[in-house]
Amino acid sequence: MLLGKINSFSIWLIVLGLSIVSIILIGGYTRISDSGLSITEWLPVSGILYPMSEAAWEIEFNKYKMIDEFMLVNSSMTLLEFKYIYFWEWLHRIFARLIGLIYLIPLVYLIISKKILRRYFYNIFLIGLLLAIQAIVGWYMVKSGLTGRVDVSQYRLSLHLTIAFIVLGLVFFTLLRFNSHQNNLRLDYDLVKRRKLILTIFVLIFFQIVYGAFVSGTDSGLLYNTWPLYDGKFLPNELVIQNKLLFNFFENKKFIIFFHRTFAFILLFLIAYLNFTIFRKNTNYKTVILVIVFDIVFIIQGGLGVMMIYLNIPWYLALAHQGNSILIFLLSFYMYALSKKSS
């Protein structure tokens, strides 16, 4: 049972979790639309204000004109086009501030009213700490693209996405833990027997999501518009650059997209094996339904990935691909939670 007794604490966690999902998607579109470098300063207080006059817009546009992305990529951009990308980066930053308020204000109320048990204090503190770190990392990421390059560092982009999913996972874990204590949720013994396999799948899914930031950050997905072959070949030409192991994994575009696709097949094999072990014997119908739902979401993810390849990664498919990855992440986490005793 995912949601049991609803009270102010669980509602807060649900709202916080949904807000994190929302900002992951907003951040995804900010990245897809190349809006992330449109605001070249980090002003935690005055940065809340949106330009309301033509003079204010000209000031912001002139700041953008000073960075390499404008000079080398967007030199023909009009003020109207700039306003569009500026809006998405501004919205992303405003929503990040909103999440801070969603975290802090209800937390003060819950503490004063003594509606948070001590066992959850560590989780809640860690969530807040990571949210604060995430704000700093967000600027650290943007700063990497302001000089010497025309986009942000794929390393910092991946770190930013990693923290977002860790925070989301921690909120989800706290909610599951709270519900297990409130409702005495039972273990799913069909999943308990396969705990190690489910944990492996969950960890690899998390890794695949994080590594997807390198695919996005280097535009590696644009190299080939054929699948499963690479322009008619099983392996891309010049796949590996000798004596540069880390370079191949994180900067060599051909190897990055090859590894991402290959890793998806490894996950497919492991999930197929999980299905085989679940369905070969009579099992709990709830387990069957959960695994089928997980299978459907995973198949959709693969289908979106293939469609992106053939259609040259349109923004709506890229955003759907990222959104669906959140579902896969949470479903695999949930299956593992059902296989493991709550503490």
- pLDDT of amino acid 243: 76
Contacts of residue 87, defined as CB under 8 A and 6 or more positions apart, other chains included, come to: 35
Q: Alpha-carbon dihedral of residues 286, 289, 292, 294, nearest 10 degrees?
A: -70
| DSSP symbols for 88-141 | HHHHHHHHHHHHHHHHHHHHHHHHHTT-S-GGGHHHHHHHHHHHHHHHHHHHHH
Q: Is the pTM of this model over 0.85?
A: yes
Query: Which single residue is written with the structure tokens 């109207």?
Result: 80
- DSSP for 215-268 reads HHHTTGGGS---SSSBTTBSS-TT---TT-HHHHHHT-HHHHHHHHHHHHHHHH
pLDDT at residue 183 tops 80: no
Q: At residue 188, does pLDDT exceed 70?
A: no
Whether the ω angle into residue 228 lies within 30 degrees of 0, i.e. cis, is yes
Query: Which of 223, 212, 205, 337 has its CA nearest to residue 267?
Result: 205
Averaged pLDDT score across all residues of the chain: 92
pLDDT computed for residue 5 by the predictor: 64
Give the pLDDT confidence score for residue 9 in this predicted structure.
Answer: 93
Output the six-digit token pair for 44. Answer: 């935690």
Tell me the pLDDT band of 284, cut-offs 50, 70 and 90.
confident
User: How large is the average pLDDT for residues 141-152?
Assistant: 94
Q: Pull the structure tokens for residue 13.
A: 């966690």
